[in-house]
Structure 1
């Protein structure tokens, strides 16, 4: 099985290829440049692997939450590529992707994964590692104010992601939160690793069914006007 993953929800831009458990990734920081960078990165990745798009079996993408434009870019590119080769797609939580990337770097769970959502809000979740290529949500992805957080496991001692800007408020809710792993970005490499079991189980859907997850209703409503 050969899968490609696309992740553009934060200031980073990455694409990755999963081939029967082996992962090749291209990753770069590209704030507000994902639209111009992602397709050349896909082409370069496939060239490096000696593959054509038609040889892919599925397209995984970071479905959000994250920057509104960045999430839309990943969905649109995944849809376009999947349509062109008539392959299924599968969206993966960007918070889950960032959590697995943090576990790869030695983070210990349960891990608070939080992105700055602007407007004095956070996208956050709590994950524990499940095997070498999986995560399990103890607190599901949600949008919250730093001063009105959902119930969080008291044993959380480490966090990651751009939500560190609200670390002081988070530590008031979680006194044990003493460590923060920097550069907590979602990555295409962890997107494809998390997606592989779903594709193997037949959970991929038609390209037209690819959906972003914004978590902020007012942003979606504003975009539809």
Structure 2
């Protein structure tokens, strides 16, 4: 029997939850949330788990890049369910699973904050490792050289003419279930961590005036 996977992506304001078994999507739910994933995710998550019953094989979360808070909530929920159900959980790039009929290969541009932008390429469900953080001017130039460019941002950055997409949890599950067994085993052994675009920016407190 094919594996039954629970998948969730909270890396953007568009939350997505799905249950997938083989080619069948048994459950799919989406919701819109700017900063309250923790308040909205649990009702559809309970519905998804009711559909799964005792057949759950593993859990897939979209690990971003995107909302730090949303991805951390997805990780916490996945780890809690995995522990209680004694199943594995893995992370996979949210950028590989647009909710559009995407081609096998495409580029993505998104806001990386602090006046910078990220450029990435996906090929056959895999995010290539050479993700670049560039200036606004370079992002415009490089976008013009790409044939198919998506953005997962709520608004296309820099006024560029891009294809707007949202992460689809069902697609994430389908990508992971198609991985070779040895690659999946390696993935399961890795810790669940968000995909950070840059090191955390920490403002140090000022020294008190003597």
Whether TM-score is above 0.5 comes out as yes
Aligned residues: 196
> Which residue of 192, 195, 199 corresponds with 1:217?
199
- Whether the aligned pair in 2 keeps the contact of 1:95 and 1:124 (CA below 8 Å) is no
Distance 1:141 1:96 in 2: 13
Q: What is residue 205 of structure 1 aligned with on the other side?
A: 188
Q: What is residue 186 of structure 1 aligned with on the other side?
A: 167
Give, in angstroms, the shift of residue 193 of structure 1.
1.4
TM-score under structure 2 length normalisation: 0.79
In structure 2, do the counterparts of structure 1 residues 199 and 78 end up closer, same or farther at CA, with 3 Å as the change threshold?
A: farther
TM-score under structure 1 length normalisation: 0.74
Give, in angstroms, the shift of residue 144 of structure 1.
3.3
Gapped runs of 5+ residues in structure 2? 204-210
> Which residue of 8, 15, 18 corresponds with 2:17?
15
- Whether the aligned pair in 1 keeps the contact of 2:93 and 2:127 (CA below 8 Å) is no
Is 1:116 the equivalent of 2:111?
Answer: yes
Give, in angstroms, the shift of residue 17 of structure 1.
0.6
What is the CA RMSD across the aligned residues, in angstroms?
2.9
In structure 2, do the counterparts of structure 1 residues 138 and 209 end up closer, same or farther at CA, with 3 Å as the change threshold?
A: closer
Q: What is residue 42 of structure 1 aligned with on the other side?
A: 45
In structure 2, do the counterparts of structure 1 residues 59 and 97 end up closer, same or farther at CA, with 3 Å as the change threshold?
A: same
Q: 1:100-135 deviations in whole A, cap 9, x for unaligned?
A: x33x2xx4564221232322222331224x3xxxx2
Is 1:166 the equivalent of 2:158?
Answer: yes
Q: Equivalences for 1:13-162 in 2 at 5 Å?
A: 13-23=15-25, 24-47=27-50, 49=51, 51-52=52-53, 54-98=54-98, 101-102=99-100, 104=101, 107-108=102-103, 110-128=105-123, 130=124, 135-137=125-127, 140-148=130-138, 156-161=146-151, 162=153
Q: Which structure carries more helix by proportion?
A: 1
Give the stretch that moved more between structures: 113-122 or 55-64: 113-122
- Whether the aligned pair in 2 keeps the contact of 1:66 and 1:115 (CA below 8 Å) is no
In structure 2, do the counterparts of structure 1 residues 198 and 186 end up closer, same or farther at CA, with 3 Å as the change threshold?
A: same
Give, in angstroms, the shift of residue 83 of structure 1.
1.1
In structure 2, do the counterparts of structure 1 residues 94 and 144 end up closer, same or farther at CA, with 3 Å as the change threshold?
A: farther
- Whether the aligned pair in 2 keeps the contact of 1:110 and 1:155 (CA below 8 Å) is no
